[in-house]
Structure 1
Amino acid sequence: MRVLLVSHRFPPHSAAGTEVYTAELARRLQARGHEVHVFSSHKDTGRDDLTLERRSHAGVPVTEVINNLYHESFEQTWQHPGVDAVFREEVQRIDPEVIHFQHLMYLSVGCLEIARESGAAVLMTLHDFWLECPRMGQLVHADGELCDAVEFERCGTCLPSFSWTQSATARRAGQSLAGLRRVTGLDFSPLARKIHKKISRPPESHADVDPETRESFAAFASRRTDALRQRTVAAVQRFLAPSRFLRERFVRWGLDPESIHYTPTGLDPLGEGAVSAPASEGTFEVLFLGSFIPIKGAHVLLDAWGQVDPALRSQAHLRLHGPVFQDADYAAELERQARTVGAEVGEGLDRAGVQAALARADLLVVPSLWFENRPLVLMEAMGAGVPVVVTGLGGMAELVEEGVNGWTFPMGDAAALAAVLSERVRTGPESMAAVSAEVLGFPTWEEATDQVLEHYAACLASRGSAG
């Protein structure tokens, strides 16, 4: 069958969990003889906005719409007529039988309706909370507090500090860069991004929001929720939820429980040669893999490491690897903390680097400060037989059987995390036998692909009977 996978970003430009999952699903479907296409977006200020780039990734054809966030209104962050127009052309060109949405950020809710009108089966995997939360789907307020429930009044004090569009100056600069590229063939956008990072300033504090702006953004958030709920429900035949926590959350949001199917991510053991083995005898290896942004909680881990007795720390080694996005100040603070407590901070790793790091690790720590769904790195650690310590929230806690394949601690509680780390270093790696994916009851990638194809078949049959 012809399948179109739709994701907000795609490798190699972005390699977070949703993007890596989409790429792997594309590869698996193609290996089974299906014709697979990917539609995604990419920000490149050196190119004209809303133009298309076509390329191939691991043999899968990829079409990317350039979205430089030149939004005229906040509504364009979720319904973008320009993106709708190019998506409609792609659907007409490919004529897919199945359109499987992974994420709509940087795209448009109108893509769902275009997919439905095309006659294709329409599915959506719920990877995070973007449908519910307009601030990147993170359910974290600008003040750093977790939003257990979305309250539009609080959205009014959060969204004004959210960089949802480019400034007039940045837009003019981007258009000039695109013009230069057309004329000279030279791409100056990487240099421009470096300059922007150095001179940019953080947005105003949520405490500085005036009443009129607060009320305006609260109204935006309310309208967004109503529009996304109504239009998503009308267009999508079947939702797939990788975690039970996320499924329950979206039932609370208003989706029909019958339409949301728990479909866990595939997990394959990394192989005998990749199973965890300490890098050096006698040294307990603790690892963090994740973006260097506050909600990933690297600072909590470093704070906790500083509270571990120095004698125990001398028997262990803490390494943190992650990419730096726009918050260079935060990354610099992490490096300062790391020097103070004798930890090592390194750059982000590619997939091979992640596997190599896990092969050397005795323990992976995921100290996130938000409701993670089913973090890819957590799944990879379990596939490598590496025990984990995670925040006791959301889909993370769902994956951990206390004392069997890992441990949990209260969100942001560095002292509690320090106690767990101290005990793990004290008892050593011998006390933590590797637990296989099979024992934990996770499907392999082949089994997970079977489940996805079953969903496709059910939706196609439903469309056929409706026609």
Structure 2
Amino acid sequence: MRVLAVHNFYQQAGGEDVVFRAETALLRRHGHDVETFTVSNDALGQTPRLQAAAQTLWNARMGRQIEGLAREHGAEIVHFHNTFPLLSPAVYRGARTAGAAVVQTLHNFRLLCANGLFFRDHHVCEDCLGHLPLSAVRHRCYRDSRSASAVVAAMQTVHHAAGTYRSDVDAYIALTEFARDKFIAGGLPAGRIAVKPNFLEASPGPGAGDGGYALFVGRLSPEKGVETLLRAWADLGGTVPLKILGDGPLAPQVEQAAHQLPGVSWLGQRDRAEVLRLMQDAAFLVMPSEWYEGFPMTLVEAWGVGLPVIGSRLGALGALIEPGRNGLLFQPGDAADLATQALWLWDHPQERGQMRLHAHQTFEASYTPERNHEHLMAIYAAAREHSAQGRSVLPKG
């Protein structure tokens, strides 16, 4: 199959970028003819503000460029991972004009929420779901700027009203059933949203989990529940050693906690190989997120090495983690509940050992490259049929 894979990279590499590279490599390993086209948000600094705003709404130049690339490659599928803000929805029209089927992976909630997170002022926010995104402008949800938020809100409003998201995309990929339900509530066509989770390109295999510590891996920011994590470990009083990996705006708070709280250490950013090694040795991973996680690679990596996960009972995490099987759940934002779950899992090594086995079984059943390729081929086939026949035939998952 001939595929053109397209992605607008962020200024800081994130999970979407990792998935784009992994999925492109996966397709090539399976013999597909894949070309890539990428742009970077670094270019925004060289673009006048009004021009950037206009291009976010409709970048005709990029639409023509995608059309030309798709024709030149003979693409049967043009698979978009992120089009915001430099590519714009114009690229869908360009791909379709070239005769290719259009697939869009929904890595975040940008089509429904200005900041893509459904998170504002330290709490989940769905004010704009199913409504005109006036609240996003009022609260400066994108880059803490009323004008920038207005541009994103205009993009959402114009293209929902024009039917772009319903007519110009043959198949959407949501990462979880939870996310799929949100996009349906936001007006995307249910019959064209399939569920395909992220996957781990290569796992080092299960670890022994005998390192004598719990682990947090992620961006040190409010939506990741870092403050709840630190309050919980203050309550634990050094009973459960904790290693924190990552960086972000709350790094000074984490650094201070590492000096003040017994058993807590901050290791900063580490490369992926070391993260996986630390996961293999950890007793369990903590994911205290207070926003709707998409499908964090950290979760897949943890289960890939057989690491149980204590996560917040919120959004996708609440649906993916099976308490007592591959991890435990606690009430989001409730530090006392998190401390209780962490202490129980720490004090029950036999049950923890069983969870390690089940965590790896979860990975093998759903998150291997082979299983992901099967899902992707089914979605591509349905997208091509929809493109050719103009009717929705996409399976749910």
TM-score of the alignment, normalized to the shorter chain, above 0.5: yes
Question: Contact (CA 8 Å) 1:300, 1:414: kept in 2 or not?
Answer: yes
Structure 1: stretches of 5+ with no match in the other structure? 50-65, 164-202, 205-212
**1:370 equivalent in structure 2:** 291
Q: Give distance in 1, aligned partners of 2:202 and 2:283.
A: 16
* Residues 1:108 and 2:88 aligned together: yes
Q: Give distance in 2, aligned partners of 1:70 and 1:89.
A: 26
Q: 1:261-280 counterparts in 2 under 5 A?
A: 261-266=194-199, 270-272=203-205, 274-279=206-211
Question: Contact (CA 8 Å) 1:6, 1:100: kept in 2 or not?
Answer: yes
Question: Contact (CA 8 Å) 1:98, 1:122: kept in 2 or not?
Answer: yes
**2:395 equivalent in structure 1:** none
**1:122 equivalent in structure 2:** 102
Which of 132, 138, 141 is residue 157 of structure 1 equivalent to? 138
- Structure 1 segments of 4 or more deviating over 6 A? 216-219
Q: Give distance in 2, aligned partners of 1:319 and 1:260.
A: 38
Q: Give distance in 2, aligned partners of 1:43 and 1:74.
A: 13
* Residues 1:138 and 2:66 aligned together: no
Q: Give distance in 2, aligned partners of 1:70 and 1:365.
A: 42
Deviations 1:101-136 (A, max 9, x none): 11222331111111111110111122210111122x
* Residues 1:71 and 2:49 aligned together: yes
**2:221 equivalent in structure 1:** 293
**1:423 equivalent in structure 2:** 344
Deviations 1:58-116 (A, max 9, x none): xxxxxxxx775643164544534454455445445434221011122233111111111
CA gap of 1:162–1:41, structure 2 versus 1, over 3 A, is same
Question: Contact (CA 8 Å) 1:266, 1:446: kept in 2 or not?
Answer: no
**1:98 equivalent in structure 2:** 77
- Alpha-carbon offset, residue 265 of structure 1: 3.1
| 2:244 maps to amino acid | L
CA gap of 1:387–1:368, structure 2 versus 1, over 3 A, is same
Q: 1:194-233 counterparts in 2 under 5 A?
A: 222-229=153-160, 230-233=163-166
Deviations 1:368-396 (A, max 9, x none): 12101211111111111111111111111
| 2:22 maps to amino acid | E
Question: Contact (CA 8 Å) 2:136, 2:142: kept in 1 or not?
Answer: no
Q: Give distance in 1, aligned partners of 2:57 and 2:230.
A: 36
**2:269 equivalent in structure 1:** 348
- Alpha-carbon offset, residue 400 of structure 1: 0.7
Q: 1:217-256 counterparts in 2 under 5 A?
A: 222-229=153-160, 230-256=163-189
| 1:117 maps to amino acid | T
Which of 259, 264, 271 is residue 339 of structure 1 equivalent to? 259
Q: Give distance in 1, aligned partners of 2:135 and 2:110.
A: 17
Question: Contact (CA 8 Å) 1:362, 1:429: kept in 2 or not?
Answer: no
Question: Contact (CA 8 Å) 1:265, 1:443: kept in 2 or not?
Answer: yes
CA gap of 1:84–1:444, structure 2 versus 1, over 3 A, is same
Q: How many residues align?
A: 379
Structure 1 SS opposite 2:164: helix
Structure 2 SS opposite 1:102: strand
| 2:261 maps to amino acid | V
Question: Contact (CA 8 Å) 1:267, 1:442: kept in 2 or not?
Answer: no
CA gap of 1:139–1:68, structure 2 versus 1, over 3 A, is farther
Structure 2 SS opposite 1:236: coil
CA gap of 1:276–1:138, structure 2 versus 1, over 3 A, is farther
Structure 2 SS opposite 1:96: coil
- Alpha-carbon offset, residue 8 of structure 1: 2.4
CA gap of 1:9–1:447, structure 2 versus 1, over 3 A, is same
Question: Contact (CA 8 Å) 1:102, 1:125: kept in 2 or not?
Answer: yes
Question: Contact (CA 8 Å) 1:99, 1:122: kept in 2 or not?
Answer: yes
Question: Contact (CA 8 Å) 1:155, 1:217: kept in 2 or not?
Answer: no
More displaced, 405-414 or 452-461?
A: 452-461
CA gap of 1:81–1:269, structure 2 versus 1, over 3 A, is closer
Deviations 1:385-430 (A, max 9, x none): 1111111111111111112111111222212212212222233466
Question: Contact (CA 8 Å) 1:388, 1:407: kept in 2 or not?
Answer: yes
Which of 32, 37, 62 is residue 34 of structure 1 equivalent to? 32
Q: Give distance in 1, aligned partners of 2:386 and 2:96.
A: 13
CA gap of 1:412–1:80, structure 2 versus 1, over 3 A, is farther
CA gap of 1:426–1:145, structure 2 versus 1, over 3 A, is same
RMSD: 2.7
**2:373 equivalent in structure 1:** 449
| 2:233 maps to amino acid | W
CA gap of 1:439–1:365, structure 2 versus 1, over 3 A, is closer
| 2:126 maps to amino acid | D
Question: Contact (CA 8 Å) 2:300, 2:367: kept in 1 or not?
Answer: no
Q: Give distance in 2, aligned partners of 1:249 and 1:456.
A: 22
Which of 388, 391, 403 is residue 324 of structure 2 equivalent to? 403
* Residues 1:303 and 2:283 aligned together: no
Question: Contact (CA 8 Å) 1:41, 1:67: kept in 2 or not?
Answer: no
CA gap of 1:420–1:269, structure 2 versus 1, over 3 A, is farther
Structure 2: stretches of 5+ with no match in the other structure? 391-397
Q: Give distance in 1, aligned partners of 2:252 and 2:279.
A: 25
- Alpha-carbon offset, residue 432 of structure 1: 3.8
Percent identity of equivalent pairs: 27
